[in-house]
Amino acid sequence: MSDGYYISKKTDDICDDVCGQGSKAAATISRLKCVLRGFDIRTLLCLFILIPFAILAIYLHGQKLTYFFRPLWESPPQPFRTLPHYHTENATMASLCSLHGWGVRDSPRRVYDAVLFSNEKDLLTVRWKELYPYVTQFVLLESNSTFTGLPKPFVFKTNKDQFSFVEPRLTYGNIGGRFIKGENPFVEEAYQRVALDKLLRIAGIEEDDLLIMSDVDEIPSAHTINLLRWCDDILRSSTSSLRTTCTLSSTTSTARAGERLCTVTVRKTRYAHFRQSDVLLSDSGWHCSFCFRYISDFVFKMKAYSHSDRVRFSHYLNPNRIQDVICKGTDLFDMLPEEYTFKEMIGKMGPVPRSYSAVHLPSYLLDNAEKYKYLLPGNCIRERQTG
């Protein structure tokens, strides 16, 4: 006590030991005790248990979390303006064109169908049989490299006899892969698409021709192509895209049911595979993603195509798992729907609804139903041997 003031210093024996003459180990333990004195032991136990589980959950489901919060970090693209699609077998082309707000031509446009081919022999057959009456020239390019740089044979060249029905109208080309290790798969894909553009010019495409630009598994219907080759003024309506809203069977596609673009470009000879217009012609064909006869083909595509990064774990390639996914209609890559609103995303979660309808499918498919039964409803079991 000095001049009416009282001075007191609170001490802590444990922490005081840190500055004492004890051993270095004792000093370290004392410091740790000082730090931990402010924490409840139950809180510490919870942290030690929860933190490893949180790290494991992020490792296993981080991609799902990212996709779930997509509406927060990515804005949706410009919405499409969808045009109604009118068709009946008995209508004249003049009346069909008029229903769409278009004029009718004196003669039909020439049609070019251009594809990059990997190994989808069955789907290519269905596609070309569907389009054969209206296509002027079929243009196909294949490479001995996948988009991910894996070596592959020239599958079409080896099986060319199966497609002899298009031989008089076929422009075929192949290109060697660059096999650059670690390169982004989209770079190799772009390289091959540029080569396909050059092949189109060799095939003789000209101004005002109709060019179908889509993957092999994105199949425009024959009547859609016939409509667009006969109708005039379709550029003025900016109708340069087709939306394929159906899979051949919901049980045949392991990818989540979704809308794919089957792009048609008029008066343009550059091959591209991106959005070409804000206008879509509805119900214009079929998209059958991952529609393969053999399990081995599923495995190959999962490792070969541009989105191979979705194979985050090796067990995704397990044949038993793939077969189970096909029959259940769940997602092959265990992903959430790629949507831009929580409402749409939640609405599409879960297995693809099973369909038993085989109405409005390509006629060649139904005429050869036994051969292609794996593409039809009720046939989800796949074969294991290579095709």
Which tens digits make up the pLDDT trace of 326-355?
A: 999 999 999 888 888 889 889 888 888 888
Beta bridge partners of 174: 142
Structure tokens at 250: 């919901």
Position 22 pLDDT exceeds 70: no
Mean per-residue pLDDT for 89-112?
94
In the prediction, which pLDDT does 36 show? 62
Instruction: Please write the tens of the pLDDT for every residue from 324-334.
Output: 999 999 999 99
Measured distance CA(372)–CA(367) in Å, rounded? 9
Name the pLDDT band for 284 (thresholds 50, 70, 90).
confident
Residue ranges of domains in the chain: 81-287
Greater confidence, 40 or 132? Answer: 132
For the record, the structure tokens of 243 come out as 């939306």
Q: What percent of the chain has pLDDT over 90?
A: 46
Strand partners, 281: 83, 242
Q: Which stretch of 123-132, 236-245, 283-292 has the lowest confidence by average pLDDT?
A: 236-245
CA 235 to chain centre: 28
Query: How many Å apart are CA 261 and CA 269, to the nearest integer?
Result: 18
- Identify the top-confidence range among 29-33, 82-86, 280-284: 82-86
Question: Which residues make Cβ contacts (< 8 Å) with residue 42, sequence separation at least 6?
Answer: none
Q: Dihedral sign for Cα 21, 22, 23, 26, please.
A: negative
Instruction: Answer yes or no: are the C-beta atoms of 212 and 200 closer than 8 Å.
Output: no
Strands 279-281 and 260-266: unpaired
State residue 364's pLDDT score: 96
Residue 315 to residue 317: CA distance in whole angstroms: 5
Between 222-230 and 121-131, two packed helices, what is the crossing angle to 10 degrees? 40
pLDDT band at 66 (very low <50, low <70, confident <90, very high): confident
* pLDDT at residue 353, rounded to an integer: 84
DSSP 252-290: T--SPP--EEEEEEES------S---SEEESS-EEE-TT
Can you tell me the distance from the alpha carbon of 232 to that of 108, in angstroms, rounded to the nearest whole number? Answer: 9
Chain Cα centroid distance, residue 274 = 13
Provide the token pair at 335. 């992903």
| Residues in CB range of 229: below 8 A, 6 or more apart | 108, 109, 110, 111, 134, 210
pLDDT in the model for residue 159: 96
Return the CATH fold of 81-287: Spore Coat Polysaccharide Biosynthesis Protein SpsA; Chain A (3.90.550)
CA pair distance 314, 302, nearest whole angstrom: 11
- Tracing tokens 């039909």 back to the chain, one arrives at 108
Considering only 24-28, 79-83, 283-287, which range has the smallest mean pLDDT?
24-28
Q: Are 105 and 93 in contact (CB under 8 A)?
A: no
Per DSSP bridges, beta strands 81-83 and 279-281 are parallel
